Structure 1
Amino acid sequence: MSNFHGDFSQNIDYVFKIVLIGDSAVGKSQLLARFARNEFSLDSKATIGVEFQTRTLAIDHKTVKAQIWDTAGQERYRAVTSAYYRGAVGAMLVYDITKRQSFDHVVRWLEELRGHADKNIVIMLVGNKTDLGHLRNVPSEDAKEFAERENLYFMETSALESTNVEMAFNTLLTEIYRTVSKKALVANEAESGGNSALLKGSNIVVPSAEPLSGGSKYSCCSSS
């Protein structure tokens, strides 16, 4: 998959809203800054409220604009919940590999996500801060097992060293594209077939997206 920074002369084919969730200080804003602007700030401040960044890239010869939303992990900002998740087609659930508590809280974040987001949302579990491997408190195996059990994609990253950040976002966006394009295909076939039950708005079952070639759905990408 090729991807580009900068403007595209052609029209945008898709806009995908992605939400970043997880405890505060796990590196959500740094992952976003690294992907959207290739920046990293050592003196990053806590996010206040909600903000988003965009980046345009090409997937399967289509122009996709990723609109990535970031919010504070602190409880006092959680009032924005329903509006934050509305329209999201993908989520990155982030924890800090050096903070066991941030991983233990993933269950609660996933519960909130599934309570507010679309049931077809594509979710990736991300263990950030692999540059602090000597302080690791969450074994990769624990996260892999959890991801497998919950049917999530999984990857470990370092926003500081720019390890797997691009790959994590690209994997998530590619799977969203596959899910959305399959959904559109099913809808088009139903319409052209004149199936009145489907045209009345009955639920259309979307086949689950296949994992990218070269690894399992929950495989962890090595940061070595």
Structure 2
Amino acid sequence: MADFEKKVIKLDVLVLGDMTVGKTALISRFIFDTFETNYYPTFGIDFLTKMIYRPDNVLRVQFWDSAGRKCFDSLLPSYIRDSRLVLVAYDVSRRPSYEVALDHVERVRQEHGDDVFIMLVGNKCDVCTAERQISTSEGQAKAKEIGVAFCETSAQSAIGVKAAFNQILTAGMNSLTNESMKEQEEKKAAEEQEKQDALCANLVLPDIPSGDALGNQYGCGCSVVWNCVASFVKSTVYGAQVQQRNDTVVQEA
């Protein structure tokens, strides 16, 4: 199948984290497989796209690279609200960035609950042991405790970057598949309900005199009794006709 004939699937990935944890470097490593020693600080939200060509479809992945400075925090709620795939990065050699990352995870959880995929990423994992402030085991334990995925990466050394983003994209594809199955089930249920409504609309109920008319002639006691009888007769005939029509539909199928 030619690339232009394939279905294009769009996925959005929001990247959050403190200043200088390497958010832009992670995205650049995944998209371009390059690393720059100097990156200009992100102002507000930056936007990058990567096209991934697969045998059956094309993934158009849009990365929303957020600024880490506090002055841009007011921009984040709208992006968090629209995101179902979130990477939250911290620098393993700076504990304050780890605390900021956990705050971001909490903000995303407050907005989406469990209806979101979050990956906690410890970047710059290639630093020497003496410079580490957050161990791998501590990051793993915290991620398990708060119910998010975990990975350690190095944008500079290209360690774990592809694995992290591929796990996020796989989660996004699985989410789309589940939503598609749910939509199909809802559509099928709606079609069945339409059939039932059409059957009920064509039912012919017997012409039974009203209890009020009989009550005027024979007394109010007769009216009450007759209304009960009429209701029973109508429901019995109604049920029988519905069952007969359902049997006809099954036989035709």
TM-score (norm 1): 0.78
> 2:153 corresponds to which residue?
157
Structure with more helix by fraction: 2
Q: How does 1:28-39 map to 2 (within 5 A)?
A: 28-39=23-34
Distance (Å, rounded) in 1 between the aligned partners of 2:14 and 2:95: 22
Question: Identity, % of aligned pairs?
Answer: 25
In 2, the alpha carbon distance for the partners of 1:111 and 1:100 equals 17
The SS at the match of 1:52 is: strand
RMSD: 2.0
Instruction: Determine the C-alpha separation between the residues in 2 that align with 1:111 and 1:59.
Output: 34
Higher RCO structure, 1 or 2 (CA under 8 Å, sep 6+)? 1
> Residues 39 and 150 from structure 1, CA distance in 2 versus in 1: closer, same or farther, beyond 3 angstroms?
same
Match of 2:102 in 1: 107
Gaps of 5+ in 2: 194-253
Q: Give the letter aligned to residue 186 of structure 1.
A: K
**1:74-130 C-alpha deviation (Å, 9 max, x unpaired):** 110112123322421200010011111111222211122223457511111100001
Instruction: State the Cα distance separating 1:151 from its structure 2 match.
Output: 1.3
Q: Does 1:182 align with 2:215?
A: no
Name the counterpart of 1:84: 79
Tell me if 1:17 matches 2:4.
no
Partner of 2:61: 66
Distance 1:15 1:118 in 2: 22
Is 1:127 aligned with 2:115?
no
Tell me the CA shift for residue 147 of structure 1.
0.9
SS at 1:95 equivalent: strand
- Are the counterparts in 2 of residues 56 and 66 from structure 1 also a CA contact under 8 Å? yes
Pair 1:136–1:77, CA change in 2 (3 A): same
Instruction: Confirm whether residue 172 of structure 1 aligns to residue 168 of structure 2.
Output: yes
For the residue of structure 2 that corresponds to 1:132, the secondary structure is coil
TM-score by length of 2: 0.70
Of 69, 75, 81, 2:70 maps to 75
Aligned residue-pair number: 190
Higher-Rg member (1/2): 2
